[in-house]
C-alpha cells in the first residue's frame, strides 16, 4: 500500500497545468457507448476512476486505447454486445452507475449491481431510477441487482426533485437517441453537464439548455464518431489554490476555466489572497496573512462546490479567525475533520456544521484519507503543517488527482510517495 510522506512548512511557488475534469470525462466515456463508432477524447486525465471506466467499456465489448503521454483516449464502441457491469467494477467506482442510461439506450437492457452507499453517505439513485421508469424502462431490483429492460424509451418531461448531477446526466444519456423530446426540469447546472451536452451534440445529438434549469433533448436516430476535449478540472484547480492559500506562496495554474470556480476565487480573495486570471491561466498569491471567512455553505452549482469544502477547510485551519462550514449536499462529508484534529486543528462538528477556529499552527502527523477530496485536503494541510506527515489511504486521492505528489513537488512542496 502506498503512502505519502510530506515535510511541511514550505511556501508553494511555481507553475503546473491542471488536468481534464474527472467528473466530466466519466459521463462522456459513458456517452461513447451511444454511437457505434470511434471517438477521440483529449485531455482525458490519467486517473484510477478513468481506468475503471475504460474497463467497463471493455467488459461491454468495446475497445480502448490510451496515450498517457498525450492524455488522449481512443474509444471504439462498434462491437458493444454486452449489457452487464461486473460487481467488482460497480464497487470500485460508484460513478459506474453513469453507464446505466447509455447501456439501456444502446442495448435496450442493462444489468448492474446496486452501487450502494459510499464514503460520503447513503448516496441513493432513486431519482435516476424514477426517471427511467417514467420513460418506460422496466426495472427489477432484487438481491442487490438492478435489471433494466425497455422495448421502447418514451420521452417525457422529467421533474427532478433535486438537481442531481448524476441523474441529469443519466437522463440525457438515456434520451439522446429516443424517439421524441425529453425535457428535464430542475436539472443540475454544473459545468460538467454542459460539457456532456457539447460532446453529445458533437456526436450528432440535439441537446440544449445545459447550464440552465431546463434541458431539452430531442432524440435523434443515430449518432456518429466525434472528437472532444474535456474541460479543465475545476475541483483540482480549487484544491491547488487552497493549498497555496494554506502554505503561502505564489503559484500559476494553467488550463483553468475561472468562470467555473468564480465562487472559490471570490472567497479566497476575501481570505486575503490575490488572484489574477489571464485567459486560461490563474495566478494566486498569498502573502503574510490569511483571514477566515464567516461561513462556507456548500450548494449546487453555481454555489460553493461540496467537492471543494475539505480543501478549503484545510486552508481555513491556517487562517486567523473562525469559519463556519455548512455541508448541505452530502450527509457524511466531514471525515477529514478527525484527521485534521490529529494535526492540531481546532474544529467542532455538529451534524452538518463544522466550526473551524484557525490557529495557524498545524503540526505534521500520521493521517488517513477516507475519501477523495478529504485526502486532497489532508495533503494540503500536511504541506502547510510544521514537521512530517504520513498520509495513508491515498488510493482515494488517485481516483481524482493525477499524481498529486508530482504536482505539489513541482510547486516546491516536499512530498514523496513510498510503497510499503
Active site residues: 118
The reply to whether 125 sits near ligand UD1 by the rule CB under 6 A is: yes
Among 58, 70, 87, 126, binds ligand UD1 (CB under 6 A): 126
The reply to whether 307 sits near ligand UD1 by the rule CB under 6 A is: yes
Q: Of 230, 305, 294, 231, which is closest to residue 265 (Cα–Cα)?
A: 305
The Cα 39–Cα 19 span in angstroms is: 20
Among 34, 44, 167, 362, binds ligand UD1 (CB under 6 A): 167
- Sketch the per residue contact string, 189 through 228, with ligand UD1: x for CB under 6 A, - otherwise: ---x------------------------------------
Residue nearest to ligand UD1 as judged by C-beta position: 166
Q: CB of residue 154 vs ligand UD1: minimum separation in angstroms?
A: 20
The Cα 98–Cα 96 span in angstroms is: 5
Q: CB of residue 164 vs ligand UD1: minimum separation in angstroms?
A: 3
The reply to whether 45 sits near ligand UD1 by the rule CB under 6 A is: no
The reply to whether 308 sits near ligand UD1 by the rule CB under 6 A is: no
Stretch that binds ligand UD1, among 6-14, 118-126, 202-210, 312-320 (CB under 6 A): 118-126
The reply to whether 166 sits near ligand UD1 by the rule CB under 6 A is: yes
The reply to whether 90 sits near ligand UD1 by the rule CB under 6 A is: no
Q: Which is nearer to ligand UD1, 128 or 286 (CB)?
A: 128
Q: Which is nearer to ligand UD1, 309 or 379 (CB)?
A: 309
The reply to whether 164 sits near ligand UD1 by the rule CB under 6 A is: yes
The helix/strand/coil state of 415 is: strand
How many residues in total does the chain contain? 420
Q: Which is nearer to ligand UD1, 171 or 226 (CB)?
A: 171
Stretch that binds ligand UD1, among 76-84, 106-114, 150-158, 163-171 (CB under 6 A): 163-171
Looking at the DSSP bridge assignments, the partners of residue 94 are: none
The helix/strand/coil state of 252 is: strand
For ligand UD1, the binding residues in 53-72 under the rule CB under 6 A are: none
The helix/strand/coil state of 185 is: strand
Side-chain half-sphere CA neighbours of 372 within 13 A: 20
For ligand UD1, the binding residues in 11-40 under the rule CB under 6 A are: 23, 26
The DSSP symbol for 161 reads S
The Cα 237–Cα 312 span in angstroms is: 12
For ligand UD1, the binding residues in 246-285 under the rule CB under 6 A are: none
The Cα 103–Cα 106 span in angstroms is: 5
Q: Which residues contact 219 (CB under 8 A, 6 or more apart)?
A: 153, 155, 175, 176, 177, 178, 179, 180, 181, 182, 206
Give the three cell numbers for residue 372: 477523495
H or E segment to which residue 368 belongs: strand 366-368
Give the three cell numbers for residue 132: 427511467
Q: CB of residue 18 vs ligand UD1: minimum separation in angstroms?
A: 16
Q: Of 206, 211, 215, 268, which is closest to residue 237 (Cα–Cα)?
A: 268
Which positions lie near ligand UD1, rule CB under 6 A? 23, 26, 95, 123-128, 162, 164-167, 188, 192, 306-307, 329-330
Amino acid at each position: 500500500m502506498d503512502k505519502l510522506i510530506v515535510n511541511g512548512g514550505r511556501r508553494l511557488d511555481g507553475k503546473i497545468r491542471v488536468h481534464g475534469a474527472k467528473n466530466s470525462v466519466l459521463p462522456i466515456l459513458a456517452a461513447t457507448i451511444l454511437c457505434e463508432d470511434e471517438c477521440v477524447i483529449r485531455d482525458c486525465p490519467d486517473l484510477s476512476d478513468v481506468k475503471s471506466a475504460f474497463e467497463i467499456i471493455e467488459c461491454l465489448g468495446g475497445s480502448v486505447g490510451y496515450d498517457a503521454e498525450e492524455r488522449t483516449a481512443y474509444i471504439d464502441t462498434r462491437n458493444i454486445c454486452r449489457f452487464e457491469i461486473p460487481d467488482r467494477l460497480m464497487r470500485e467506482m460508484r460513478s459506474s452507475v453513469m453507464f446505466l442510461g447509455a447501456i439501456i439506450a444502446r442495448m435496450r437492457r442493462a444489468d448492474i449491481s446496486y452501487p450502494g452507499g459510499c464514503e460520503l453517505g447513503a448516496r441513493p439513485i432513486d431519482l435516476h431510477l424514477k426517471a427511467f421508469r417514467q420513460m418506460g424502462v422496466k426495472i427489477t431490483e432484487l438481491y442487490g441487482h438492478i435489471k433494466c429492460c425497455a422495448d421502447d424509451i418514451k420521452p417525457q418531461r422529467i421533474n427532478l426533485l433535486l438537481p442531481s448531477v448524476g441523474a441529469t446526466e443519466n437522463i440525457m444519456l438515456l434520451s439522446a437517441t429516443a424517439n421524441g423530446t425529453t425535457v428535464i426540469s430542475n436539472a443540475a447546472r454544473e459545468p460538467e453537464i454542459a460539457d456532456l451536452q457539447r460532446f453529445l451534440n458533437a456526436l450528432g445529438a440535439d441537446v440544449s439548455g445545459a447550464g440552465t434549469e431546463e434541458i431539452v433533448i430531442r432524440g435523434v436516430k443515430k449518432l456518429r464518431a466525434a472528437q472532444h476535449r474535456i474541460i479543465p478540472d475545476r475541483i483540482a484547480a480549487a484544491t491547488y489554490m487552497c493549498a497555496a492559500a494554506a502554505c503561502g506562496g505564489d503559484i500559476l495554474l494553467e488550463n483553468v476555466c475561472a468562470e467555473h470556480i468564480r465562487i472559490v476565487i471570490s472567497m479566497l480573495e476575501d481570505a486575503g489572497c490575490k488572484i489574477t486570471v489571464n485567459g486560461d491561466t490563474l495566478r494566486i498569491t498569498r502573502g503574510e496573512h490569511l483571514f477566515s471567512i464567516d461561513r462556507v455553505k456548500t450548494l449546487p452549482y453555481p454555489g460553493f462546490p461540496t467537492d471543494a469544502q475539505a480543501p478549503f477547510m484545510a486552508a481555513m485551519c491556517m487562517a486567523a479567525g473562525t469559519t463556519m462550514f455548512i455541508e448541505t449536499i452530502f450527509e457524511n462529508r466531514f471525515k477529514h475533520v478527525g484527521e485534521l484534529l490529529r494535526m492540531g486543528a481546532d474544529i467542532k462538528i455538529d451534524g452538518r456544521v463544522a466550526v473551524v477556529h484557525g490557529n495557524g499552527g498545524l503540526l505534521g502527523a500520521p493521517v488517513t484519507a477516507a475519501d477523495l477530496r478529504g485526502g486532497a485536503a489532508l495533503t494540503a494541510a500536511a504541506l502547510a503543517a510544521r514537521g512530517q506527515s504520513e498520509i495513508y489511504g491515498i488510493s482515494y486521492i488517485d481516483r481524482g488527482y493525477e499524481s498529486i505528489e508530482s504536482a505539489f513537488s513541482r510547486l516546491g512542496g516536499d512530498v514523496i510517495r513510498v510503497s510499503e
